[in-house]
Structure 1
Amino acid sequence: MHTPAAPAPDAAADAVPGTDPRTARRPPLAARVTAWLNDPEDPFWARPGPTAAQRRHDVLAALGFLLVALLASALVHSYAGLAEEDEPWRFYLSTALVVAPLALRRRFPLPVVVASSALFLGLTYASPTAAMTLPFQGAYFAALYAAVAWSRDRQALWVAMSVVVGTMGLWLLGAFTVTNAYADFLTGLGEVDGPLPQLPSYAVFTLLVNTVYFGGAVLAGRASWRAALQQHRLAAQAQRIREQSQEIARRAVVDERLRIARELHDVVAHHVSVIGIQAGAARTVLDRDRDAAVTALRTIEGSSRTAVGELRQLLGVLRAEGEDAAPGPGGGTASASRRPDPGLGDIPSLARLHADNGLTVEVRTVEDVPGDLDDVPPALGLSVFRCAQESLSNVIRHSTATTASVTLRTGRGPGGRWFELEVLDDGSPRPGTAGTGFGLQGLRERVRLHGGEAEIGPRAGRPGWRVRARCPLPVDAAGAGAADRAGAAGIPAAGRALRGSEA
């Protein structure tokens, strides 16, 4: 479990006149040592305890080590014998007792190191021969290592290790000074001819050996603890990456749903609204004017066919995105059989379609520089067409207007070149035709996708409704437009088609 560090107090509040701020903010020695045992960047991280499998492995490893230690003790007993006043049962029992706590070394690291230290001191006197064997020393080293590597309470670890190392140091000091145990040991060795005095040399040698012994256990345990911390950080980072990937995927799905919703609304709602209006007109004149009713029914038929065709086209795009452009019936791909996406050049056709449905639409173009409309990117042209389609459909559904105007203009400002669509009508709101608002929301979203802004609302000072959408033109729009025109041979440019419609 990771516990966040407490926020640092305000430096101004801690500052004391006449003191160095760096010295004033320096943590105490115990905190610095504890941080050294842990990690300075994350001193409060607690290593998770061993799993059930790890606890089972500890027991099995301790049993295996016990068998090896007893075998090694038997070999030592066989070729070197035992020290004076040492008994075989004490020799073997001491080896078994010092190894036994290792079965719990990762589950209870601090109690194990304290118990192992007490056993080490006591059994050294009970069986001096056992204390000199490698399994005896190795078992105690493993207990020290496990305490540093697995202790969750690092402050308690610092206290326990200080007590253990201090006790061992006092014990060695007493052995050299008070009890004269080492002096008696050297007397048994006899005089030797060396460059240094015998007792001081042995004391320094013993100090170096114990420094390496205890220091090696602490450093190895600290390395293990930091390796676990690094693994924890990598796992947390991987988890964050997975969560971010899932969030990105979720947002992509949401964005795609919104795009599909806009396309379905723009493609289907327009034609369905025309079908509804023409069906009502046909029902009204069916008994009085059969020719008008037939004309309305033909319009319904054409709109329904167009709606079905465009819906199939949209579904084909979705299938192509999921199937990587699956082969079409003619041997080509599904994407190759699609019609070009509508753009500015299709707005006059859109106006004529609404004229057939009873709404007279005038299309106007105002270019800051001749040819500006030819430089509108295809993606922006598609969005403009959908915005005009939605705006004119709203006029038919929600307004009493019989005329409307669509103005396409370009200009320049402090921010660079811009393109603007403006749709105006002069009608009043039709009672009982309030919509859901999704169409206008989709219109605004389309404009925002191109970095533009939309103004939608009643006209100021006169009846009617106004939709204005302005988007910036890319800096390299001229070059891109020229390239598009060169690569789209046979397809009339948007600007030329619009100017032709005006004539």
Structure 2
Amino acid sequence: MIETQPSGTDTGGSAVPGKKPAVSAESLRGLAGRIRTFRLSLPWHAEDDWERPAPGPEGYRRDIIGVGIALLLSAVMLEFMRGFAFGDGDIGNRWVQHLVQSSIFVFLVFRRRFPIVVMLLSSATFVIVGITMPPISQTIGFQAAYFTSLYSAVAWARNRRALWLSVTVVVAAMFLWIIVGFTLSSSYDEILQTFNMSSNDPVGLFAPLTSYVLYSFMLNAAYFGGAIMFGWNSWRSAHQREQLADQAVQLEAQAADLARKAVIEERLRIARELHDVVAHHISVIGIQAGAARRVLEKRPDAAAGALQTIESSSRDAVAEMRSLLGVLRSSDAETDGPAQREPEPGLEEIPQLLADYRSNGLDVKFHRAEHEPGVLENLSAPLALSVYRTIQESLANIRRHSTAGSAVVALRSGSTPAGPDTPPLRWVEVETVDDGRPRQGTGGTGYGLRGISERAALHGGITDIGPRDGGGWRVRVRFTLR
């Protein structure tokens, strides 16, 4: 027995000359998948779980009107045919013939409510009329009515498995009836007499009987096949329309969900901004309040200056809190008006931020360096805001949690050289260091440092936050320039 192995595996020996390469497992799985896809694409496997919804009262009303009009036209066509196609030996008088023809139209009123039942009853009627009154079964109206019953069954049946079983039975019964009719009811001489030819007359490619049988077979195959094909296309189109409608609803729900998530993310961002603003101003207020308490009796002027700083910081804090909370309280669906917000701070506001801390007793030195002219001036607004908030939070942490009296803030840009497999990377880095010790009893929540890390991750950056080897604390964040 030959053992088949997937392609690309090592069998431990050389290939045998003259043998074909083994078929891979991936190829077999692909072939099985294509066969399964083809099998599921067949009508009796297509979306068996979906049911086409039945029409409402208005649809049934249109069916009744349509059947009435079709019955009237069929009666007119029957009268036309009576003048040249019916002989004296035909069964039934005029009213019987009209009554027999209208029998199949009665079922069509319910063709969309009970499609399979209507098809079966119409098929039985067609066979009975074809046996008892063949001229009626060959009229255009009668044939069209039966075609409509087949079409409606395939187009509207909700139980697809029962439909295809019924269609198979009907088609098999009809062709069996045709075969029986040729073998029992018709003879070779009757067919020749019907077409006014003899066995010695010149014929086409086939003999007269063979040609007639093949012609009848192909005609009925086109008749039944056309009804089934048009009905299946109608059902599939309805299914696709419903799928598109469901997809539109899903897309609308997804769009609403994305909008809601965008609002939530924006409000979370604003909440972080609010934390940074409040932490900065409360830190300044606390420091100035302590200074004012110590010099209140000995140096009233210094105490007044500290109280003035507290007043200014508290007003700024309240103003910024109102602006941010106004956005948080506003709704994306209903709002009294556009939220009043000041422009977000950027690199231009860093000197004023440092000046505020210097006026509050923290000696802050600032260094700025660019590896290319204009890099820092051309930072995007979100990145500039992240740089500003990083410096603000770092200095606020120094004032709250450190004994340091001075700090150094460095803002610089640079680039890493390209490697064999990596392109050059441009970055902007902000670093804040101090030489103090942790202040006892001032443990924080950690939200500020977490906010710095989140801002760095937002811009594809990295952080280095922690104590320095020589004493003090370092906050260094490197943002990637895209």
TM-score (norm 1): 0.72
Find the counterpart in structure 2 of residue 44 from structure 1: 47
Find the counterpart in structure 1 of residue 11 from structure 2: none
For 2:216, the aligned partner's letter is: T
CA apart distance, 1:188: 6.4
> In structure 2, do the counterparts of structure 1 residues 353 and 79 end up closer, same or farther at CA, with 3 Å as the change threshold?
closer
Find the counterpart in structure 2 of residue 275 from structure 1: 285
> In structure 2, do the counterparts of structure 1 residues 378 and 426 end up closer, same or farther at CA, with 3 Å as the change threshold?
same
Find the counterpart in structure 2 of residue 465 from structure 1: 473
Listed as ranges, the matches of 1:301-380 within 5 Å are: 301-307=311-317, 341-343=345-347, 346-365=349-368, 367=369, 369=371, 377=379, 379=381, 380=383
Residue-by-residue CA offset, 1:121-156 (whole Å, 9 max, x unaligned): 123234334312222111111111122223445444
Find the counterpart in structure 1 of residue 118 from structure 2: 112
Find the counterpart in structure 2 of residue 72 from structure 1: 74
RMSD of Structure 2 on Structure 1 (CA): 4.2
Find the counterpart in structure 1 of residue 182 from structure 2: 176
CA apart distance, 1:22: 6.0
Match for residue 63 of structure 2 among 45, 48, 61: 61
Match for residue 145 of structure 1 among 148, 151, 155: 151
Match for residue 402 of structure 2 among 399, 403, 415: 399
> Do structure 1's residue 408 and structure 2's residue 438 form an aligned pair?
no
d(CA) in 2 for partners of 1:424, 1:215: 85
Q: Which runs of 5+ in 1 are unaligned?
A: 1-10, 323-333, 475-503
> In structure 2, do the counterparts of structure 1 residues 22 and 444 end up closer, same or farther at CA, with 3 Å as the change threshold?
closer
Contact 1:368-1:411 within 8 A present in 2 as well? yes
d(CA) in 1 for partners of 2:440, 2:108: 86
d(CA) in 1 for partners of 2:35, 2:389: 71
> In structure 2, do the counterparts of structure 1 residues 62 and 138 end up closer, same or farther at CA, with 3 Å as the change threshold?
farther
Contact 2:404-2:434 within 8 A present in 1 as well? yes
Find the counterpart in structure 1 of residue 263 from structure 2: 253
Residue-by-residue CA offset, 1:410-457 (whole Å, 9 max, x unaligned): 444344343322222344444554444333233223223332112223
> In structure 2, do the counterparts of structure 1 residues 114 and 22 end up closer, same or farther at CA, with 3 Å as the change threshold?
farther
Q: SS of the counterpart of 2:53? A: coil
Residue-by-residue CA offset, 1:466-488 (whole Å, 9 max, x unaligned): 211112345xxxxxxxxxxxxxx
Find the counterpart in structure 1 of residue 335 from structure 2: none
Find the counterpart in structure 1 of residue 454 from structure 2: 445
Residue-by-residue CA offset, 1:201-231 (whole Å, 9 max, x unaligned): 5434423321221121122122223323432
Listed as ranges, the matches of 1:220-235 within 5 Å are: 220-235=230-245
CA apart distance, 1:274: 1.5
Find the counterpart in structure 1 of residue 14 from structure 2: none
d(CA) in 2 for partners of 1:454, 1:410: 15
Residue-by-residue CA offset, 1:155-183 (whole Å, 9 max, x unaligned): 44443322222211111111111122896
> Do structure 1's residue 132 and structure 2's residue 138 form an aligned pair?
yes
Contact 2:405-2:436 within 8 A present in 1 as well? yes
Find the counterpart in structure 2 of residue 487 from structure 1: none
Q: 104-113 or 196-205, which moves further after superposition? A: 196-205
For 1:304, the aligned partner's letter is: S
d(CA) in 2 for partners of 1:430, 1:147: 85
d(CA) in 2 for partners of 1:74, 1:353: 100
Q: SS of the counterpart of 1:178? A: helix
Match for residue 215 of structure 1 among 225, 242, 251: 225
CA apart distance, 1:385: 1.9
> In structure 2, do the counterparts of structure 1 residues 183 and 279 end up closer, same or farther at CA, with 3 Å as the change threshold?
farther
Residue-by-residue CA offset, 1:308-362 (whole Å, 9 max, x unaligned): 56567879999xxx9xxxxxxxxxxx99xx779431x543432331122232223
d(CA) in 1 for partners of 2:293, 2:188: 120
d(CA) in 1 for partners of 2:223, 2:481: 74
Match for residue 100 of structure 1 among 99, 106, 118: 106
Q: SS of the counterpart of 1:49? A: coil
Find the counterpart in structure 2 of residue 491 from structure 1: none
CA apart distance, 1:45: 5.2
> In structure 2, do the counterparts of structure 1 residues 190 and 410 end up closer, same or farther at CA, with 3 Å as the change threshold?
closer
Contact 1:70-1:92 within 8 A present in 2 as well? no
Contact 1:453-1:471 within 8 A present in 2 as well? yes
For 1:342, the aligned partner's letter is: G
Q: SS of the counterpart of 2:463? A: strand
> In structure 2, do the counterparts of structure 1 residues 270 and 38 end up closer, same or farther at CA, with 3 Å as the change threshold?
farther
CA apart distance, 1:51: 3.4
Contact 2:126-2:146 within 8 A present in 1 as well? yes
Match for residue 464 of structure 2 among 455, 464, 485: 455
d(CA) in 2 for partners of 1:99, 1:456: 86
CA apart distance, 1:287: 4.6
> In structure 2, do the counterparts of structure 1 residues 66 and 203 end up closer, same or farther at CA, with 3 Å as the change threshold?
farther
d(CA) in 1 for partners of 2:36, 2:258: 45
d(CA) in 1 for partners of 2:33, 2:161: 14
Contact 1:420-1:469 within 8 A present in 2 as well? yes
d(CA) in 1 for partners of 2:373, 2:23: 74
What's the % identity of the aligned pairs?
42
Find the counterpart in structure 2 of residue 298 from structure 1: 308
d(CA) in 1 for partners of 2:35, 2:416: 65
For 1:163, the aligned partner's letter is: V
Q: SS of the counterpart of 2:185? A: coil
Q: SS of the counterpart of 1:172? A: helix
Residue-by-residue CA offset, 1:263-297 (whole Å, 9 max, x unaligned): 33333431233223323443454455422321111
Contact 1:282-1:292 within 8 A present in 2 as well? yes
> In structure 2, do the counterparts of structure 1 residues 168 and 293 end up closer, same or farther at CA, with 3 Å as the change threshold?
same
TM-score (norm 2): 0.75
For 1:142, the aligned partner's letter is: T
> In structure 2, do the counterparts of structure 1 residues 25 and 295 end up closer, same or farther at CA, with 3 Å as the change threshold?
closer
